[in-house]
Structure 1
Amino acid sequence: MHPTHNEGQRKSTAKAILAKIMRNETQVLFVDAARYWSRGAYAVSVVDAHGSLVNTATVVTNFTHEAEEMAIAVALQGCTGASIIYSDSRRAIRTSSAALVSSKTATVVNKLCYQERGEDNFPSSHIRWFPAHMENISGSPSCNPNERADQLARELTFRVCGRPPRFNVACRNLDNKDPLVSYHELTSHHRTLSTGSHLGGAAGLIGGAFGTTFFLLRT
């Protein structure tokens, strides 16, 4: 579901997910990343189902999906048991589900799995997709934790770099985390225009328990 062409369906999906979360006692975390507009790095944030901050970090990379992968890894550090991690980056979910992420993320996760907690004590975590940029969801007790994670990540970048100039070229497309990937998305995009990827960095393999815990929600 692409934000330009499936807004109604995305909002319905977001409402259904948040309603289900309120009935579930499993630990739930939301992650997001925001780019420092004046440098090649991203701030990542992790919040709980109520929008409360759990953890933050900065990752040096020029690629949004690598920052989103690291956000998932940072969330794993805050998992206390079986958990569900929601990300609005489909690409980061796919690379994590395939246990093929950036070398930086692989280093963090493998250290957590093999050195800090041990493979037998590694939390069982599912990573699922949540629609981005849905603002506050009416009727949800927690509003929208995904938007809160996005807000906190942006605030971190503003503290370091200040707010970006309004018309600065470097600030364009900072949120290009949902590129057109499917045949339907591509044809819909070109149809709209007519009427009116590179995977950066070295890849790292995640082994052991972490590589088998992910669940990819159909998007």
Structure 2
Amino acid sequence: MKTLIGVMTGTLVFCSSISAQAALLEGQSVYFQFADEDLEYFGTPTVEGDSLAFDFSGISAASSSASQREVLEFQVLAKAGYQVDKFHLSEGGDYSLAGKNSSVSVNSRLRLDDFTNDELFRESTEKSFRLGGTGGEKEGSWNALFELAVANSEELDVLLTTMLWAMPAGTGGDARIDLNSIRVSISAILTGGEPAPVPLPAAVWLLGAGLVGLTGVAARNRRGAFLHA
């Protein structure tokens, strides 16, 4: 198995079998499970709390390649005592255009299988950007957002399909659109229905520890004063 090295706040665990290899990323309330090739293709994500973020480069449709299709699939597995009640995914990138009537577009399709409740969700969104007959140049960014409420699930399968199109037009026309980020956030609750606890930042813990230490010093000083009175 290939070694995958990355900086993350979660834990990366490798699970091997005869037929496939998978990587398990640990969040606060859930695990994110991927096939190794997906992680290697999109780059090692960062995990913080129950959020997952991919930032990468090199995935684009340009004048020379016309279109690009990308697929990312992974599973969300709730830890013991937790259930997932909301799912949030966003992806985005940049685009640039030059020449009369050049255009780019992106189509994002999300399929979410809730294995716990035997439900299937499908959503899609499409965005396009075009230069008119006057031509010129244009550049900007795009973003697709999916937000779904699920019925206290313990296992989700996520399939994201992204299609990029670049359509230059006219002499000297140029069109380019890329995909450079995917972000996932999970809202989890305790099995009894209460919101999952949110861990305090390290700075807060250090501050608390410092206050406790100061309180102990003050108590010892007062006790010493009483003993010498």
TM-score by length of 2: 0.24
In terms of fraction of residues, the more helix-rich structure is 1
Q: Name which structure has the greater RCO, CA cutoff 8 Å, separation 6+.
A: 1
Larger Rg: 2
- Give the structure with the larger strand fraction: 2
